[in-house]
Amino acid sequence: MLYILLSICCSVAVSIMLKLAKRYHIDVLQAVTWNYSTAILLTWIIFKPHWVSLSVAPVNNLLGLGVLLPVLFVILGASVTANGIVRTDVAQRLSLFIPILASYFVFGENLHLIKIVGILLGVVAVLFSIPWGKSGGKAAKGGWFYLLIVFVGMGVIDVLFKQLSAFKTVPYTSLLFMVFVLCFICAVIMLVIKIASSKTKFSFPHILIGWALGIANFGNILFYLKAHQALASKPSIVFTAMNIGVIALGTLVGLFVFNEKLSMLNKIGIALSLIAVIVIFNF
């Protein structure tokens, strides 16, 4: 439970930084790129990982995460532009269905009735927590494609991390290090292309911003993996609690830090999320 709580806090911290980035016109791709350099350094200093032979590593999982994690940051930005924040948030949160289904069909978890009720409560809580009453703007032509990528991408990332945490041949710290290195390489390639096409200019302050973002992102992924290891036989608990927790804490931060307004539906959603967590963890 502690690992999930720490991962939730780090995840919300990342969201806060990205929200502030938009407010202060910060190039998200530059910040995201340098965030991975911090994650690499922290992993190296704290865990002293070794770069292992690809012949014994889960190459497909590593490559999938190494590409999906940085690319999805860019897709999220494109989706917000094309579809609005509300529609994009709906797609992101509903991705919960993919890892939950994977818990049953891929990881062979036994989902008894009470746990299914808790998961369904969590899904309802997610839907209720989204600010449906706010205008998200009209979706641009073809914008549905971005939403589909966000929905599938977020769900696939959750599943890939679960598979990575279950891999026993190589220490998870070494796998985490390799993921961050691959993410950094992919992000640098995207950034170079963007700079070469004159869509942005290199800015030193973005390195400092990226380093701060990297500390929170490192904690988010590290504790998420540890949670899956601690609850190896119950992946649905981690998947559901993370999504519910991020929504609940994120909503509270929005209310008290950013002075966002909550509708009655949002308040019901927070209450349902707490009930769902209790049901999932105690039955």
Structure tokens at 17: 């930084």
Handedness of CA 150, 156, 162, 167 (dihedral sign): negative
Q: Supply the pTM of this predicted model.
A: 0.77
pLDDT tens for the 283 residues of the chain, in order? 788 889 989 988 887 887 777 678 888 889 889 999 999 999 999 888 877 777 788 888 999 999 999 999 778 777 766 765 556 666 776 777 787 778 777 777 676 787 778 778 877 877 776 665 554 445 555 677 888 888 889 889 988 988 887 788 888 888 889 999 999 999 999 999 999 998 888 888 888 989 998 999 889 888 888 887 787 777 777 777 787 777 778 777 877 887 767 778 877 877 887 787 777 666 6
Q: How high is the pLDDT of residue 163?
A: 84
Burial category of 93 from C-beta neighbours within 10 Å (exposed 0-12, middle 13-18, buried 19 and up): buried
Question: Quick one: CA torsion of 18, 40, 220, 1, rounded to 10 degrees?
Answer: -170
Structure tokens at 152: 């599938």
Q: Give CA–CA dist 263/260, Å, rounded.
A: 10
Q: How high is the pLDDT of residue 135?
A: 46
CA distances from 132 to 16, 53, 126, 128, 208 (A): 20, 48, 11, 8, 35
Helices (H), the chain: 2-23, 28-47, 59-83, 85-94, 97-105, 113-129, 143-166, 172-196, 204-230, 235-256, 264-282
Q: Give CA–CA dist 35/124, Å, rounded.
A: 33
Q: How high is the pLDDT of residue 226?
A: 85
